[in-house]
Amino acid sequence: MEHLVTNIQRMCMQDGPGIRTTVFMKGCGIHCPWCSNPENLLFEKEEYARADGKGVYGRSYSIDELYQEIIKDKAYWNPDGGVTFSGGEALLHMDFLRALFQRFKDQGVHLAVETSLFVPERLVQDALKYVDFFYVDVKILDAEKCRTLLGGDSMLYRRNVDTLSHSGKKICFRIPCAEQYTLQEDNKELVLKFVKQYREIPIEIFKLHRMGESKYQSLRKQMIEDDDCSDMAFKDFFEHLKQQGNHVSVIRL
Amino acid sequence: MKDIYIPGLDEDARLHKKKQDGSLLREREDYKKIYAKEFFNVYNEGTVADGFVCMCRNQRIYIDENWQFVYFIDYAYALDKIRGYRFGNLTPSYEILLSHSLSELKYSDPATPFCVDYNKIIDGMECMVQRIIEEIRHSNTKRLADKIKWFENLRIKPAKHFEEALQRILFVNQIMWQTDHYLTGLGSLDQLLYPYYERDVKTGYTDEKTVKEQLREFLQILHQYYWYKSSMLMGDTGQIIVLGGSEKEGNYRYNILTEQFLDLVQELQLPDPKLLLRVNEKTPEKIWKKALTCIGTGVGSPIFSNDQVIIPALEAFGIEEEDARSYGVSACWEPLIAGKSVSLNNMTTLNYMRPMENLFRREQLSRLETFDEFTECYITYLGRNLNAVKRVLTNARFQYDPVLSVFIDGCREKQKDASWGGAKYFHAGITSVALGNVIEVLLNIKKYVYEEKNYSLIEIKRMILTNYEGMESEQKKLKSKKRYFGTDEEEVIQLTKKIMAATTRFTKDYRNEYGGKLKFGLSAPTYIDAAVDMYASFDGRKYGAPFVVHISNETADSYTEILNFASALDYGENRFNGNVIDFMVTPDFIRNNMDKFVTLMKVGIKKGIFQLQMNVVSSETLIRAKENPEAFPNLIVRVWGFSAFFIDLPDNYKDMLISRALKNEGKEG
């Protein structure tokens, strides 16, 4: 498996505490229909064509190259910022990233990942040695739907969440809201029930955005249209979470 | 602006109202009839000092009864006796008239022609003061008795109270404008006024709330005559109030007035006066937040200035330690020792693109076989260009200026006019433009000519001279790529430093006739005007299109990238004449990330950026305001180094701001 990077985004204000540099890894274990980073689904390089020319999504770095690139903003990570690994599924690149994580950990750099947690349990165990903060997606929880819609094993997901929740690490749930998918009535009930067990874990909810549309076009793919969420449904969901005692906040990505 | 009274404009509604009220305000036409003959005769035949005295006798005195302070400019009688280089872009020493009375300043035994002229200036001011007192007596003004007392004191004793100090600052400032000194700064007012504030509060003479009210009025008064004070563009007034500072041991210096000025500028939402906040590593969180909240409202102020870089640079240049620590700035950003320096900091602009253009037009391009040879050749042409710049400076002759000399430390003691070297500091400053474009051109040439060999220099010459005729796709490609200048790639930083060091090499031996040295910086107001007659350049810039604004890069990945770039540059030797980073920021960005933005700024200061200003606007607002100006009469933007109403700007400035905002938001290019 190749370990490619599609983007190193500096000065991210939304990907964890403080000012952060976010690294987007290419390749994911699932395929959410609403995905806003379609260039990060496959593990191999992909050609794209945009108005300003052709190019390739995905660049391979040595650990040292990646380190040098990320470390440029180290000065801005005090007091609480750091590096966030996203994707794709960052944890599926654990075998590659391990050495980099170690290097940052040695320097006391705060590390975060954004993960869907549809990954082998050993990778989660491994990540726990280095990562300080986990953003964990909550998406589709019905086993059958999860398999067909996302291509994921919901039991594995639930076990991984459980492992993380007992690790003592900081966690934050992120729930993408789309009425046709995550907020579809049955799933919404499952999600509410699921997060109720973890009331100590804060939740961020957000509406999907269409900023990935141009990336779909550049890959000659079609972005789904039924990804919207009415203000009413969004607010209703927010209130539900609040009522059952979850710490919930709204973010705009 | 329509509610601001402008003397001399008979059409002005308020003037008519006054006239109907039978007030003492006299009409400009009457004045002309009575005094014009005498006025203009003296003007043409006497010295500047005689002209000043005549002006003081004749200019119209106007007491606005609604204000508690007196301030007026009669531009129909402005002194404009221009002989040589005009002094402006300066901050007078307000302190001189706070700690002295007019009579104290006079020479008891004027031995030289300068002393005679100096005394005439004081006489002229005394005459004006007397006339003001008379006018107050006959008015129904607020605080009539106090006003009379303040002006009587002005003649015979130093200022005692806070409000009196404010009135004297206004008086000096008014004299400067009235005598045609353009871009008159206000200096470090929080520091200057604090002792008066402290004493008055201690003795119960005033309180915090009263002082704030007075400062509010003070700012509103200074915003009057906005268009008269504007120089090249509306809003270009140079009315900068400097706030904050550093103690000797590095602690941050600020006081309650620092906070009040920030609060008031935020509240008033006027583009003028402008604020510059001096900062260092120890600037407290609360000041950062106040300042960022203020600028987050879109008012354009404050601009930030890094003491930790600027003070050492000034000292190394030869400015005394205490003076360096009390630095202010000229109209935009160029460090200036207020009240002690008549260094003109913007005497001319170095256009970095000019030598590049000359190189392409005159050089035998085929002999430049390597990138290093090309760069060295550019530097040779740069040297020739700087020789021309130095000739311009050497040929400048300054206006004899006894009025300014009263308000510049050193002139009185040395019995020398400011234009004869009376001031403590008399350096020459130039600004520069287009270094960002030149770095781009050089690195493009390195890549496309010497590494990838896609084009020859001859082909590039053709692109430049024909404005990319038949090579539109090349132009588009060059224009849309991520720009080098302002990124933290080591190669970009090193090349920029190299060109800056070369500029120093060609300028450091320059001395003007009073021994003043030459300094330069990477910010200039001319990024549009200086580009007008310039050929296209090999960075996708077409004929006449604007240059890069100061230190900016809207295609950079993040603000951190440009902060890293700017802090890696070396502002030592003579490279400190204003080096401002220019950000475009959306209003939401600061609002939603206040704490993180404070961190960003603090780190930037610690790493060693020089100065930073921000345009806090969204492209959407700017586009709507251009289409529908009536709906956005109060929208403020930052141009050059000042804030102005967007609707007052020429279209090419509006377009440039829109284009930068779009790029910053990732919507274009």
Mutate to test the interface with A, among B557, B562, B607 (most CBs of A within 10 A): B557
Q: Which residues of B touch A78 (CB under 8 A)?
A: 599, 603
Residue A14's CB: how many other CB atoms inside 10 A? Answer: 15
Inter-chain CB proximity B560 and A18 less than 8 Å: no
State residue A25 phi and psi, 5-degree precision: -90, 145
Q: Report the distance separating Cα B353 and Cα B648, nearest Å.
A: 29
Tell me the Cα Rg of chain A.
Answer: 18
Inter-chain CB proximity A75 and B603 less than 8 Å: yes
| CATH architecture group of domain A4-250 | Alpha-Beta Barrel (3.20)
The Cα of B251 is separated from the nearest Cα of chain A by a number of Å equal to 21
Q: Which residues contact B455 (CB under 8 A, 6 or more apart)?
A: B448, B449, B463, B474
Q: Do B577 and B429 meet the contact criterion of CB atoms below 8 Å apart? A: yes
- At B80 the pLDDT is 66
Q: Is B28 helix (H, G, I), strand (E, B) or coil?
A: helix
Mutate to test the interface with A, among B482, B599, B605 (most CBs of A within 10 A): B599
Q: Report the distance separating Cα B398 and Cα B388, nearest Å.
A: 19
**Average pLDDT score over residue span B429-454:** 97
Inter-chain CB proximity B599 and A10 less than 8 Å: no
In this structure, the strands spanning B245-246 and A203-207 are unpaired
- pLDDT tens column, B116-160: 999 999 999 999 999 999 999 999 999 999 999 999 999 999 999
Q: Is B606 on the interface with A (CB under 8 A)?
A: yes
Q: Report the distance separating Cα B379 and Cα B384, nearest Å.
A: 9
Q: Do B581 and B550 meet the contact criterion of CB atoms below 8 Å apart? A: yes
Confidence of residue B43 (pLDDT cuts 50, 70, 90): very low
Residue of A nearest to B477 (CA): A52
Q: Which residues of B touch A53 (CB under 8 A)?
A: 477
- At B24 the pLDDT is 31
- pLDDT tens column, B588-610: 889 889 999 999 999 999 999 99
Following DSSP, what letter does each residue of chain A receive, concatenated?
---EEEEEEEEESSSSSSSEEEEEEE--S---TT-S-GGGSSSS-EEEEETTEEEEE-EE--HHHHHHHHHTTGGGGTTT-EEEEESS-GGGGHHHHHHHHHHHHHTT-EEEEEE---S-HHHHHHHHTT-SEEEEE----SHHHIIIII---HHHHHHHHHHHHTTT-EEEEEEEE-TTTTTSHHHHHHHHHHHHTTTTS-EEEEE---TTHHHHHHTT----S-----HHHHHHHHHHHHHTT--EEE---
Confidence of residue B47 (pLDDT cuts 50, 70, 90): confident
Inter-chain CB proximity B480 and A13 less than 8 Å: no
Nearest by CB to residue B558, choosing from A11, A53, A81, is A11
- pLDDT tens column, B80-126: 655 556 788 899 999 999 999 999 999 999 989 999 999 999 999 99
Confidence of residue B469 (pLDDT cuts 50, 70, 90): very high
Q: Is the peptide bond before B113 cis (omega within 30 degrees of 0)?
A: no
State residue A74 phi and psi, 5-degree precision: -55, -40
- Angle at B279 (CA atoms; ends B277, B285), nearest 5 degrees: 100
pLDDT at B163 over 90: yes
Q: Report the distance separating Cα A57 and Cα A62, nearest Å.
A: 17
Mutate to test the interface with B, among A10, A204, A213, A251 (most CBs of B within 10 A): A10
CA neighbor of B574 nearest in space, from B337, B409, B335, B325: B335
CA neighbor of B196 nearest in space, from B156, B165, B151: B165
ipTM computed for the complex: 0.89
- At B88 the pLDDT is 85
Q: Do B222 and B239 meet the contact criterion of CB atoms below 8 Å apart? A: yes
Q: Report the distance separating Cα B377 and Cα B381, nearest Å.
A: 6
Inter-chain CB proximity B596 and A19 less than 8 Å: yes
Residue B282 Cα distances to A79, B245, B250, B252, B306, angstroms: 15, 10, 8, 6, 11
Q: Is B482 on the interface with A (CB under 8 A)?
A: no
Structural domain spans, chain A:
4-250
Inter-chain CB proximity A10 and B596 less than 8 Å: no
Q: Which residues contact B81 (CB under 8 A, 6 or more apart)?
A: B43, B48, B51, B399
- pLDDT tens column, B337-388: 999 999 889 989 999 999 999 999 999 999 999 999 999 999 999 999 999 9
Can you list the residues of chain A whose pLDDT is less than 50?
Answer: none
Q: How many Cβ pairs closer than 8 A exist between chain A and B? A: 46
The Cα of B601 is separated from the nearest Cα of chain A by a number of Å equal to 9
Residue B138's CB: how many other CB atoms inside 10 A? Answer: 11
- At B33 the pLDDT is 42
Q: Is B600 on the interface with A (CB under 8 A)?
A: yes
Q: Which residues of B touch A68 (CB under 8 A)?
A: none
Q: Which residues contact B557 (CB under 8 A, 6 or more apart)?
A: A8, A9, A10, A11, B487
Q: Report the distance separating Cα B486 and Cα B502, nearest Å.
A: 19
Inter-chain CB proximity A79 and B599 less than 8 Å: yes
The Cα of A117 is separated from the nearest Cα of chain B by a number of Å equal to 28
Percent above pLDDT 90 for chain B: 77
Nearest by CB to residue A10, choosing from B477, B557, B603, is B557
Tell me the Cα Rg of chain B.
Answer: 26
Inter-chain CB proximity B599 and A19 less than 8 Å: yes
Q: Report the distance separating Cα A44 and Cα A245, nearest Å.
A: 43
pLDDT at B162 over 80: yes
Report the DSSP beta bridge partners of residue B351. Answer: B433
Residues on A contacting B at a C-beta cutoff of 8 Å: 8-11, 13, 18-19, 52-53, 72-73, 75-76, 78-79, 81
CA A153 to chain centre: 17
Confidence of residue B20 (pLDDT cuts 50, 70, 90): very low
The Cα of A19 is separated from the nearest Cα of chain B by a number of Å equal to 6
Q: Which residues of B touch A18 (CB under 8 A)?
A: 596, 599
In this structure, the strands spanning B611-616 and B303-306 are antiparallel
Inter-chain CB proximity B560 and A11 less than 8 Å: yes
Output the six-digit token pair for B128: 């004006």
Q: Report the distance separating Cα B418 and Cα B412, nearest Å.
A: 10
Nearest by CB to residue A19, choosing from B480, B564, B600, is B600
